[in-house]
Amino acid sequence: MRHLRRGAAAALFLVAPAVAHADEAPAAPADSASGAQQLIRVGYEDQDLTRLSLEELSMVEVTSVSRRPEALADAAAAIYVISAEDIRRSGATSLPEVLRLAPNLNVQRVNAVDYAISARGFNGYETSNKLLVLIDGRSIYSTLSSGVFWDAHDVMLQDVERIEVISGPGGALYGSNAMNGVINIITRSAADTRGTLLSVGAGDDEANLALRHGGGLGETGAWRAWLTAHARGESRDPTGPEANDDARGLRGGVRADWSAGENRLTLQGDVFDNEVSVNEDLLGTDTHVRGANVLGRWSRPLADGELQVQAYYDRHEREEPGSLEQSDTWDLTVQHAMDYGRHRLVVGAGHRVIDSRFAAAPGGALLDPPDRTLTLTNVFVQDQIALGAGLTLTLGAKFEDNSFSGHEFLPNARVAWERPGGDLVWGAVSRASRTPNRIERDLTLPGFLVGADFRSETVTAYELGYRANPLPRMSFSINAFYNVYDDLRTVSITPVTFLPLNLSNNGEAETWGVEAWGSYDVSPTWRLSAGASTLTKDYDATLTPDDISGLTSIGDDPEYQILLRSQHDLTDAVELDVRLRAVDDLLAIDGYVEADVRLGWRLTDRLELSLTGQNLIEDRRIETGDPVRGRAFGRSVYGALQVSF
């Protein structure tokens, strides 16, 4: 059965080499709700604060009464937060590697630059298409495939304030691609990045440089400009001597933040040019990914609440052997949060226009029509109602209209009960969907595959969670979910003639699992953390005329993964971090256990050295079931020096 399923998938996708990056699901526009990060800010209960370092305390937002964010500790959702300190101490050198810190994400490294990342299943380079990923409010999932091309997205890690990882539907404020999760990456305000920072590092697999300089802008503003560069060597090929995936790239950006009276304004943008020699067609041609974006956000208090307006433009270009994909995206979101008696109400609307162009070499797969202008419009409302006795009811709904599948209605209801001891029980029922993408609608292989009327995939998600601080130095969170999916992507035949095939919505599945994480401070200088997640999938992979793929869109996921971490300050200046992760088998790939160790040495206040050993246990190991793109990884060492002044 497994062989058949894999075979069928390989057959379909091997015929479509030109669309290498597009195979799966793609995407539609996201929704706007990028402003949502404004509402779920990290908050801490008193007892949580005692776990924070001095540096972390200085980052805690203490918004004034008029702009109270929902405390993270009160959010009725499965949220894991990666702090700036966690990022620094991880020794990770790229955004996807940092995301390995979240127990509620499964990260599969595919090759030197590509990753498959998902929450609650469906992982795989081509099948992970149910996540909404935001960088400072800008959605980065691809219009072409609904997945995130991680080779095109990164940030200057030293300037990240925190990353919020929500597993499960993101709720009304986030919108339709937030079907299985949201990753919300938030960089620091320019006011917090004054001065110069230089970080250089090199190891046997990669070299990186990051440079930033920031300063003041008048009395109430600040700015920064930054530049990052990376070079990665070839990964190890699982079978032959050549992995052919060495890569290099440059990225630079600026950000400015002002406050003028009650108004706050942010302007930021970045531009990048990455290239990688992954040659899936064996022609040896480099893949080039280039892009630029600019974003503005303005907020001010309004009528017992806050009004926020955000707009961005994003340009993206991917040139591969045999294809050129370009997109221009314009996005506008307006959101008003206000308090009214015991109601905390958020209303908003967003509109996005994506101008997508795809040119393919003759004879291969193509998109028909090659160019499309897609729109995504939504209106959302959420009411958080304090019912008393620690009970909070949150009702939200989003109405969305997209070019491919028309209207969607996405409601959710959440209940949180904060008990007198400070622990919290929550439950939620949500409906979420993933709208069709260009590949699902337009991918054509003449005579073999034709575009059809692929509709949205949907899920009804049931969640239950509990979190507590049973001891002053201990906290944990445990969440369970049960998801019922319908209209999942399948591949159907044409009756009688068999060909051409078309992408259809005949898949159904149920998934369930548990995610848990916690930390314990053994002493003020030593913290232990652990996290685990499980996943069970129930689906029918029988090959039928309705689905000759055996439901490959279900992804290739481990049934469990376990993360352990120790963060230890050996002395005032020396810190030792050890991370272990155990990941269960994939369909055809063995599970693994890996270890990363980082030793950091603060020579002076301005100078820090670190030495990181990655993947220390195995010499050669594969993390992904992708038969074409997958490469192997193993032991590597990386040294870095960071100076700030």
Q: For binding to another protein (CB under 8 A), which residues are involved?
A: 43-44, 46-47, 49-50, 52-55, 57-65, 68, 71, 189, 191-192, 339-343, 383, 385-389, 392-393, 395, 397, 409, 411, 413, 431, 472-473, 524, 572, 604-605
Distance CA 359, CA 7 (A): 28
Q: What angle do CA 68, 74, 78 make, to 5 degrees?
A: 125
- As a whole number of angstroms, the distance between CA 179 and CA 147 comes to 12
Q: Where are the beta strands (DSSP E) in 472-585?
A: 474-494, 498-523, 526-534, 536-539, 560-569, 574-583
Nearest distance, CB of residue 473 and another protein, angstroms: 7
CB-nearer residue toward another protein: 275 or 487:
487
CA 615/CA 583 separation, integer angstroms: 13
Q: Let me know: does 178 contact 432? Beta carbons within 8 Å.
A: yes
Please answer whether residues 400 and 410 qualify as being in contact, where contact means their C-beta atoms are separated by less than 8 angstroms. yes
| Structure-derived torsion over alpha carbons of residues 276, 278, 280, 283, reported in degrees to the nearest 10 | 80
One-letter amino acid of 156? M
C-alpha span between 101 and 535 (Å, rounded): 18
Q: Tell the smallest beta-carbon distance from residue 21 to another protein (Å).
A: 34
DSSP letter string, 324-367: EEEEEEEEEEEEEEEEETTEEEEEEEEEEEEEEEEEE-TTS-EE
Q: Which one, 340 or 498, has the nearer CB to another protein?
A: 340
CB 440 within 8 A of CB 450: no
Indicate the residue among 192 and 546 with the shorter CB distance to another protein: 192
Shortest Cβ 484–another protein spacing (Å)? 14
484 vs 480: CA distance, rounded Å: 14
Q: To the nearest whole angstrom, how small is the minimum distance from the Cβ of residue 61 to another protein? A: 5
Nearer to another protein, 366 or 461 (CB): 461
In angstroms, rounded to a whole number, what is the distance separating the alpha carbons of residues 95 and 81? 14
**Least Å from the CB of residue 171 to another protein:** 13
By beta-carbon proximity to another protein, the closer residue of 411 and 634 is 411
CA-CA distance, 190 to 297, in Å (whole number)? 14
Residue 190 CB, nearest approach to another protein (Å): 9
Indicate the residue among 46 and 619 with the shorter CB distance to another protein: 46
Indicate the length of the chain as a whole number.
Answer: 645
- Residue closer to another protein by CB (options 44, 448) is 44
55 or 371: CB nearest another protein: 55
Q: Helix (H, G, I), strand (E, B), or coil: what is residue 55?
A: helix
Q: How far is the CB of 406 from another protein (least distance, A)?
A: 13
Cβ 409 to another protein shortest distance, Å: 6
Rounded to whole angstroms, how far apart are CA atoms 165 and 482? 19
Among residues 14 and 603, whose Cβ is nearest to another protein?
Answer: 603
Least distance between another protein and beta carbon 488 (Å) = 18
| Residue closer to another protein, measured from CB, 53 or 196 | 53
The minimum distance between CB 197 and another protein, in angstroms, equals 13
> CB of 196: closest distance to another protein in angstroms?
15
Residue 516 to residue 531: CA distance in whole angstroms: 6
> Least separation, in Å, of the C-beta of 173 and another protein?
16
Q: Are 266 and 243 in contact (CB under 8 A)?
A: no
Q: Which residue, 142 or 433, is less far from another protein as judged by CB?
A: 433
Q: Which is nearer to another protein, 129 or 412 (CB)?
A: 412
| Exposure string for 403-437, b = 16+ CB within 10 A, e = fewer | bbbeebebebbbbbbbeeebbbbbbbebbbbbbbb
Residue 290 CA, chain-centre distance (Å), reads: 20
In sequence order, the 6+-apart residues with CB closer than 8 A to the CB of 109 are 96, 115, 623, 624, 633
Kindly report the three-state secondary structure assignment for every residue of 153-183: CCCCHHHEEEEEEEECCCCCCCCCCCCCEEE
**Considering the complex, what minimum distance in angstroms separates the CB of residue 472 from another protein?**
5
Nearer to another protein, 47 or 536 (CB): 47
Closest CA to 27 of 96, 106, 150, 126: 126
Distance CA 475, CA 463 (A): 20
CB of 68: closest distance to another protein in angstroms?
5
Q: Choose among 637, 90, 34, 606: nearest CA to 295.
A: 34
Closer residue to another protein, CB minimum distance, 170 or 550: 170
